[in-house]
Amino acid sequence: MYRSNTCGELRLADIEKEVTLAGWVSKIRKMGGMTFLDLRDRYGITQLSFNQELDQDLCDQANKLGREWVIQITGTVKERSSKNPHIPTGDIEIIVSTLTVLNASKTPPFTIETDTDGGDELRMKYRYLDLRRNVVRQNLELRHKMAFETRRYLDERGFLEVETPVLIGSTPEGARDFIVPSRMNPGEFYALPQSPQLFKQLLMVSGFDRYFQIVKCFRDEDLRADRQPEFTQIDCEMSFVNQEDVLQTFEGLTKHLFRSIKNIEIPDFPRITYADAMRLYGSDKPDTRFKMTLTEIKDLTPGREFGVFDSAEYVGAICAKGCASYTRKQLDELTDFVKRPQIGAKGLIYLRYNEDGSLKSSVDKFYTEEDLKKWAERCNAQPGDLILILGGETEKTQKQLCELRLEMGTRLGLRDKNNYKCLWVTDFPLLEKDEELNRFFAKHHPFTSPKPEDIPLLDSDPGAVRANAYDMVINGVEIGGGSIRIHDSGLQKKMFSVLGFTEERAQEQFGFLMNAFQYGAPPHGGIAFGLDRFVSVFAGLDSIRDCIAFPKNNAGRDMMIDAPSRVEQEQLDELGIILSQKKLP
Amino acid sequence: MYRSNTCGELRLADIEKEVTLAGWVSKIRKMGGMTFLDLRDRYGITQLSFNQELDQDLCDQANKLGREWVIQITGTVKERSSKNPHIPTGDIEIIVSTLTVLNASKTPPFTIETDTDGGDELRMKYRYLDLRRNVVRQNLELRHKMAFETRRYLDERGFLEVETPVLIGSTPEGARDFIVPSRMNPGEFYALPQSPQLFKQLLMVSGFDRYFQIVKCFRDEDLRADRQPEFTQIDCEMSFVNQEDVLQTFEGLTKHLFRSIKNIEIPDFPRITYADAMRLYGSDKPDTRFKMTLTEIKDLTPGREFGVFDSAEYVGAICAKGCASYTRKQLDELTDFVKRPQIGAKGLIYLRYNEDGSLKSSVDKFYTEEDLKKWAERCNAQPGDLILILGGETEKTQKQLCELRLEMGTRLGLRDKNNYKCLWVTDFPLLEKDEELNRFFAKHHPFTSPKPEDIPLLDSDPGAVRANAYDMVINGVEIGGGSIRIHDSGLQKKMFSVLGFTEERAQEQFGFLMNAFQYGAPPHGGIAFGLDRFVSVFAGLDSIRDCIAFPKNNAGRDMMIDAPSRVEQEQLDELGIILSQKKLP
């Protein structure tokens, strides 16, 4: 045994005990004839004490140690004269009697502390050192706990975790697949799954009834801050259920996680339809930690020769409480904000409802005080409030107002990371039209069932068909989404035809699922959570990278192991593939 | 809600209750004016009863149903007149009042029963129907339970499950990697991990202290019955431990699994060194459900002009209790058995120790009764026993005797699948010599630490160096293996040099690990279990395929989804790869 205790567990009750500890040298301080050393492991920090007068040799040894050396010591637990209230072991220290160096260390390229001096690139290259930092390790501990508690909750409710294959077939639909050449089947490729969607539906056909899996999925997409080429899903499916059963089960899971991990009781989740979410928040993943909902005022704007609003399909406003006193500079900042290319508004109209009850807007030359009063009333504004208004094409403008709303929420401190607001968004449209290609795509995926009452619209007005689809949203982040599936092969065929698949194409790509559906598919539905995002929300992180042990950068590279990389010619020969010279850099 | 109860839960206590069930039609029997129908779901089977006299229409509906149709019924629970003691719901039946067809089914290509009439190929193509069979589903339920209980045990002991990447770099050492072309880095490839070995060691360098992961691993090897291109490991690593700590922890895990899942108390595992295992069983994964150990008798054989033994490096025997009465035919069968190409013995010598005390052998013309007596004594044979003897090169002959021993064990019914004998095999050789290439390879992997006392032999006699490596064996199956790792970068360099790596090559392949080791690596070690094999042993299966939901065949194909497959030219162009015409079929 290398140790009798960890560096995080000794307390006053252990005084006078003889102990053996092992860990990393975190700090060394010399004071007079004393040397104090912080010994660190995953569990905490314990102070070691060396007294020159008691043992000169040992003290000399301690003085020769460097940061991040790995040592083992034995000694006696003593009460500290000056206690450290910031750490759980702060009441005690170890008077060391023997010291063994288990491994030396070079000086690390950055300090192993919460606020490190390592830049992002350096930390990724030396990720094994970055992972020594408490903040990073705690994120991974949280991830472990969330995965474990998820499994416990689902196991208790009869869900079986079934592993589905990683080497599957490629489907041209959806995002780009990573593909894997097969040596045993030259010219053919496996694909890595974007999700186990088809397999979990097959498991329902097999009668598994309640399936889940915490599983890696893959997408060869251009990366953004919150995307990784490999990511983890909590993938779930149930048979003989309707939408209500699924929502109850996974609302329960989320409440369980908040309760067991953060000791927070979350009330029943409010539900909002997709249409209402867009109307009130301009988003299908509204941040409901604060209200400031969108108000349409288009009908209050015409007839005053203001071209911007007159030509707009939609005019909408948000009301920022207590912001009437915003300065010119602050208003200019907001105007610049909405004009950013990624938001794309042309300008911002404001209306101040001053404390004295007077109204002042940037469109005073077009609108009377009477007009503006109506706007303020519609927005439920009070004296002291600031109304911000955008006009244009409906959906685009709603999205811009959404961004502006989030920005105001942030400025007003209404988006506290420790305040959790969960909700369900329901009744998503089944289809989404690609105007350029003039065809419909499945908004969720081609197996999502339409609402029975909307099925007749599949022919007459496909865009208006609502799906039995739902998203779980926490604090403006889409944590999970799912749907009730089509289990009738006739309806599935209809769906493929609406999506513009020829029968052969549908057969080629999804034939095995459609065949399976002919042998007694039960009604079923499910949901998939993005574990990375779920953990990020729990941890209050801005990027999912911080809860992934070994993430890749925006070019899909692992900086630490330097992957991807060239492979040996022999390996390519065996696979029967040749590198195209055109593509090589 | 589609159901108030499952098909497995109703009992006499539920009599007169109004229930709703949903499931698959498993059997239909007509008797007089009655129709009986077995309704099946994952949880069991419930008998439904329809009476022509009570409701002709409903009975007609029931008679039109087919096998594997999905239906929903409501009805009243009644006591059965003729009970079925073979199923838990056998005391009751449902008098059906309403029947809804949820989905029809074509006639399945094979029967959904324990003993199905579907051949292997048909079952794999229609795996979603095969999975409806109780026996197959039960294997996957067992797999779920084993994984869950493993997580529970390890979580309780402070192990953190950390996900390591699936898209990593290729290492030419070891088995062949599957590789994945990178679109964002043309000409470069990711590789799929054969194990998370390097990452788990890096996590130890990071101070994670106790890591585990139940994780998919990949090997592009030619496949055998018990190999799959993707397989699942229970991968574990601990810091500040010696071999004893690791063995205790994972012996504990195994006992926990037997206790919690099979309600079996396993005593402390015996331990045997690799050398003893080879000497006594001719195998590094001995089946210790029965004794019949190997006895060397070479020293008792010379001087009698029997060339086969005189020229043999090794002569060994096993003693089969009570088999002296084996007929000529039985002995011929055994001779044929050892002469099979995959075993490769030239012949088999037998010695009968007859019940009357007389001795009769196939080498009577060379050896006196006195000689044979000595052999029998050495083998602890009793009257009635049969001694089987092979001679030749030591290791080869021991392995042949191992096969013969297992064959005899099977013939004598000594290998009961419900009798579990676990053990540790320790002190494996560190290195293995490839005589053809005249170089040493790591028997386990290049990070395995030699026993400290054997380190001097690294220069003088590398083949004799023993490693701190161990395997867990259950009933002759290697369930897991691991080692204490080298944590000293100097010793690691030495090891690479013994393995014939140039310094550049070592740096290129394992540079990031060797670099990491310079920043304070703790002493550490671990183990990895093959989950597929572990489940197979628990389930008493002959092939790991039966505990995998969607396995691949021996050509690495998924017959159900027909993967791997061609991909579109566009996809290859994006990746900058061209298919070599030479390789295409």
Tell me which residue of B551, B526, B537, B478 sits closest to B213, measured CA to CA: B526
For the stretch A107-137, pLDDT in tens is 999 999 888 777 888 999 999 999 999 999 9
Task: Tell me what pLDDT residue B39 has.
Answer: 98
Which of A392, A411, A430 finishes a domain?
A: A411
Do A491 and A448 fall into the same domain? Answer: yes
Note whether B428 and B470 are within 8 A (CB): yes
Say if residue A494 is in the same domain as residue A434: yes
Range with the lowest mean pLDDT among B159-173, B195-209, B227-241? B159-173
pLDDT in tens, A89-109: 999 999 999 999 999 999 999
- Residue showing tokens 């200019």: A332
DSSP run (H or E) holding A389: strand A386-392
| pLDDT value of residue B583 | 67
* Domain assignment present for A6: no
Q: How would residue A1 be classed by pLDDT, with cut points 50, 70 and 90?
A: confident
What pLDDT does A524 receive? 98
Residues 6+ apart with CB under 8 A from A398: A278, A279, A282, A283, A294, A314, A316
Domain boundary among A411, A435, A457: A411
Across A359-373, B35-49, B438-452, least confident range:
B438-452
Predicted confidence band of residue B293 (pLDDT cuts 50, 70, 90)? very high
Note whether A103 contacts B: Cβ–Cβ < 8 A.
yes
- The predicted model gives A458-485 an average pLDDT of 96
CATH number at residue B393: 3.30.1360.30
Direct distance between the N- and C-terminal alpha carbons of chain B, in angstroms, rounded to an integer: 53
Are both A398 and A315 inside the same structural domain? yes
Q: Are B267 and B151 in contact (CB under 8 A)?
A: no
Between CA A520 and CA B68 the distance in angstroms is 6
Sheet of B359-361: strand order equals: B295-296, B314-320, B386-392, B349-353, B359-361
Q: Does B490 touch chain A (CB under 8 A)?
A: no
Whether residue B172 is predicted with pLDDT greater than 80 in this model: the reply is no
Residues A513 and A550 in one domain: no
Please indicate, yes or no, whether residues A511 and A546 belong to a single structural domain of this protein.
no
- Whether residue B173 is contained in a domain is answered as no
Out of B51, B72, B103, a domain closes at B103
Alpha helix (H) residue ranges in A361-460: 369-378, 394-411, 457-460
User: What are the tens digits of pLDDT across the range A314-366?
Assistant: 999 999 999 999 999 999 999 999 999 999 999 999 999 999 999 999 999 99
- Domain shared by A535 and A514, yes or no: no
Please state the φ and ψ torsions of residue A271, each to the nearest 5 degrees. Answer: -125, 145
Q: Search chain B and give the residue with CA nearest A243.
A: B1
At A583, the pLDDT band (50, 70, 90 cuts) reads low
Residues B97-108 have pLDDT tens digits of 999 999 999 999
- The mean-pLDDT minimum among A333-342, A389-398, A539-548, B168-177 falls in B168-177
Is residue A270 predicted with pLDDT exceeding 70? yes
> Quick one: pLDDT band at residue A191, thresholds 50, 70, 90?
very high
Encode pLDDT of B417-437 as tens digits: 999 999 999 999 999 988 888
Distance CA B70, CA A521 (A): 7
B41 contacts on A by Cβ (under 8 Å):
207, 209
Could you tell me if A257 and A141 lie in one domain?
A: yes
pTM check: above 0.90: yes
Q: What is the CATH number of the domain that holds A490?
A: 3.30.930.10
Report the distance separating Cα A154 and Cα A143, nearest Å. Answer: 17
Q: What is the DSSP letter of B458?
A: H
User: What integer pLDDT is reported at residue B202 of this predicted model?
Assistant: 97
- Reported as a single tens digit per residue, the pLDDT across B51-98 is 999 999 999 999 999 999 999 999 999 999 999 999 999 999 999 999
Residue % of chain B over a pLDDT of 70: 99
pLDDT of B278 over the 90 cut: yes
Number of domains in chain A: 4
pLDDT in tens, A506-519: 888 888 888 999 99
Structure tokens at B524: 């550490």
d(CA B184, CA A556): 7
Listed by number, the residues of chain A in 63-102 with a beta carbon closer than 8 Å to a beta carbon of chain B are 68-70, 72, 102
The pairing of beta strand B359-361 with beta strand B349-353: antiparallel
Structure tokens given for B323: 């088999």
Same-domain check for residues A511 and A543: no
Q: Are residues B401 and B323 in the same domain?
A: yes
Ramachandran area for residue A294 (φ above 0: left; ψ -120 to 50: alpha; else beta): beta
Query: Are A42 and A84 part of one and the same domain?
Result: yes
Considering only the beta carbons, identify the residue of B102, B185, B519 that sits closest to A564.
Answer: B185
Which residue in B207, B209, B231 sits closest to B219, CA to CA? Answer: B231
Whether B57 is covered by a domain: the verdict is: yes
The Cα–Cα gap between A379 and A295 comes to: 6
Q: Are residues B406 and B449 in the same domain?
A: no
User: CB distance A519–B232 less than 8 Å?
Assistant: no
Residue B112 lies in a domain: no
Rounded Cα distance between A540 and B368, Å, is: 86
CB contact under 8 A, B162 and A182: no
> Residue B175's pLDDT is what?
82
Q: What average pLDDT does this structure show over A463-472?
A: 96
A11 is in an annotated binding site: no
What is the extent of the structural domain holding A24?
Answer: 12-103
Looking at residue B36, what DSSP letter applies?
E
Which member of A108, A140, A151 has the closest CB to residue B160? Answer: A140
User: Rounded mean pLDDT of A538-554?
Assistant: 93
**Per DSSP, which regions of B325-452 are E strands?**
349-353, 359-361, 386-392, 422-426, 431-434, 439-442
Contact call for A558 and B232, based on CB within 8 A: no
Q: Is residue B516 part of a domain?
A: yes
B157 occurs within a structural domain: no
Cβ-defined contact of B141 to A163 (cutoff 8 Å): no
Cα dihedral angle (A570, A576, A582, A585), rounded to 10 degrees?
A: -30
Which chain A residues are closer than 8 Å to B129 by Cβ?
206, 519
Region B327-344: mean pLDDT is: 96
For residue A239, count other CB atoms closer than 10 A to its CB.
27
Q: Is B461 exposed, middle or buried (0-12, 13-18, 19+ CB in 10 A)?
A: exposed
Instruction: Record the tokens describing residue A359, joined without a space.
Output: 């109204």
Q: Which of A206, A245, A558 sits opposite B168 (nearest CB)?
A: A558
What is the torsional sign of CA A22, A23, A24, A26? Answer: negative
Quote the pLDDT of residue B120.
86
Please name which of B389, B279, B282, B294 lies closest in space to residue B338, comparing C-alpha atoms.
B389
Give the minimum alpha-carbon distance from B476 to chain A in angstroms, rounded to a whole number: 26
Residue B532 annotated as part of some ligand binding site: yes
Q: Are B325 and B396 found together in one domain?
A: yes
Asked if residue A61 is part of any domain, the answer here is yes
Q: Which residue of B has its CA nearest to A509?
A: B561
Contact A242, B3 (CB under 8 A): no
Q: What is the mean pLDDT of chain A?
A: 94
Q: Residue A541: CA atoms inside 13 Å, Cβ hemisphere, count?
A: 22
Classified as helix, coil or strand, B73 is strand
Q: What is the pLDDT of residues B229-249, one digit of tens each?
A: 999 999 999 999 999 999 999
H/E element, A211? strand A210-218
Residues of chain A with C-beta less than 8 angstroms from the C-beta of B161: 144, 147-148
What CATH number should be reported for the domain holding residue B35?
A: 2.40.50.140
Residue A341 lies in a domain: yes
The residue length of chain B stands at 585
To the question of whether residue B431 is assigned a binding role by annotation, the answer is no
pLDDT digits (tens, 9 = 90+) for A279-290: 999 999 999 999
